[in-house]
Structure 1
Amino acid sequence: MGLKVNDLLKIKDVSDLIGDFTDSTWINEAVKGAPLVVVRCAPLINDMVPVGIRGTNRSQRCAATILCSSIVKIITPEQLAEGKLWRTSKHIRETHIFKTLEAVDSILGSHDITWGPTGSVGFELASGVETVTPTSDLDVVIRVPSILSVKTGKDITKDLLTVPTKVDIQLETPKGSVALAEYARGDSPVLVRTVNGPKLVKNLWSENENLEG
């Protein structure tokens, strides 16, 4: 199915969720309002997809799994950016995030980089539920199947210093996820988040290097 971390998955209802939710009475209401879950960074085993459930406040987060057969629709962060959906969102246009989205789109576009918003911004753009608050940062994912130079990473990091809101960019590489700010420092090895936990990696695009725990 080609699912990737940070993809949003539309499900039918709360009955599609698998997990222990005895202490999470908010889940029914959250899924009823927006039947979307996000793919987590964890192993996909036997058609069981690891997902996260998002409530209306920061404390309402819960891990679960769903069957691949329960997926109604896949919404990628890249689709949200490609459609520039923030321009048609009345709530987003009224928040501090709007100018940041415009700036990030321009900065990454100048480097010919495909990107997508995640976190509260991505969720609101996909669901229509107002999850962006005055204190929200902008979380971004960039999938980089081939080498991104450290120089380009440094240039982007420098450009981001001019935007109105803090931007946290995660690079999704063949070896796992790493913060752009960390990669741009040029240090080696770098700490990468993988489906099997954090690992130290010298070359994010080498097929031969073994990951070090």
Structure 2
Amino acid sequence: MRSDTYLPHDLLWGLNPEQLPAQAPAWVAEALDQGQPVVLRRAPASAEQLPVGVRGALREQRFATLMLRARVERRVCPEALVDSPLAVRDWPALRALRQVRPLLDASGLAWGVSGSAGFELATGLPTLHAQSDLDLILRTPHVLSRHEAAALLQQLDNPFCRVDLQLQTPLGAVALAEWAGQAQRVLLKADSGARLVADPWSLQEQAA
């Protein structure tokens, strides 16, 4: 399967243990043997290789590696997980998802589920627990004002769990909670690395 539109947080199937580097821990091969997908960590810098992460059963089990684009057999993006039939499961994070969905749908922007909730919705594997946060992404191709960000952050407050929403700008990702705050500069996670910026949508600032 080829695609020119791979984006961070996409889940990809097709990596197998034989393609892992020699230093990969044993749990990485075990996870792949179970048919688990890997997650795209950032936009691909190479036409042939994708920077991906493998997750294990424990929170600290995360392994970064590369996957050949030609090996991808299936791709699921975070936006597709909003309609997963597994969203009815009775975890606090999924109750929160059901509560905030109408708000995000009404924004008119593309959004999706990432993190542990996204992984469970995509695979059915039990990755959520009672203390899990709800990780979301919101595609923001145009500037979202700090006033709008603060209002959205307040609206995402719910009685079930913490919502960690990442704004995906054309230049990288920034936490909604940071952009809604008072700090003059916020952490932008770009393909070239993380940096503090005043405007996560500014090409001029990115080039500086």
Q: Under a length normalisation based on structure 1, what TM-score does the superposition of the two structures give?
A: 0.87
| Partner residue, 1:112 | 108
Judge conservation of contact 1:14–1:28 (CA < 8 Å) in 2.
yes
CA distance in structure 2 between the partners assigned to 1:68 and 1:186 by the alignment: 41
| Superposition RMSD in Å | 2.0
| Partner residue, 1:28 | 29
CA 30–193 in structure 1, closer or farther in 2 if over 3 Å, else same = same
Q: Are 1:142 and 2:138 counterparts?
A: yes
CA 98–187 in structure 1, closer or farther in 2 if over 3 Å, else same = same
Q: Are 1:161 and 2:157 counterparts?
A: yes
User: How much does 1:26 deviate?
Assistant: 1.3
Q: Are 1:89 and 2:100 counterparts?
A: no
Of 178, 184, 188, the match for 2:180 = 184
CA distance in structure 1 between the partners assigned to 2:155 and 2:140 by the alignment: 19
SS of residue matched to 2:173: strand
User: How much does 1:93 deviate?
Assistant: 1.5
Q: Deviations over 1:43-96 (max 9, x none)?
A: 522511100001112122111101110111111001111x2x1xx328x61222
> After the TM superposition, which of the residue ranges 65-74 and 92-101 deviates more from structure 2?
92-101
Q: Are 1:55 and 2:43 counterparts?
A: no
Judge conservation of contact 1:108–1:156 (CA < 8 Å) in 2.
no
CA distance in structure 2 between the partners assigned to 1:145 and 1:28 by the alignment: 37
> After the TM superposition, which of the residue ranges 200-209 and 55-64 deviates more from structure 2?
200-209
| Partner residue, 1:66 | 67
Alignment gaps of 5+ in structure 2: none
User: How much does 1:107 deviate?
Assistant: 2.2
CA distance in structure 2 between the partners assigned to 1:55 and 1:151 by the alignment: 38
> After the TM superposition, which of the residue ranges 122-131 and 111-120 deviates more from structure 2?
111-120
User: How much does 1:159 deviate?
Assistant: 1.2
SS of residue matched to 2:203: coil
SS of residue matched to 2:199: coil
Of 194, 201, 204, the match for 1:198 = 194
CA 169–33 in structure 1, closer or farther in 2 if over 3 Å, else same = same
CA distance in structure 2 between the partners assigned to 1:205 and 1:98 by the alignment: 30
> After the TM superposition, which of the residue ranges 98-107 and 184-193 deviates more from structure 2?
184-193
User: How much does 1:20 deviate?
Assistant: 3.8
SS of residue matched to 1:58: coil
| Partner residue, 2:124 | 128
Q: Deviations over 1:92-147 (max 9, x none)?
A: 61222221011121221232332111111101111111111122111111111112
Judge conservation of contact 1:43–1:196 (CA < 8 Å) in 2.
no
Of 12, 16, 21, the match for 1:13 = 16
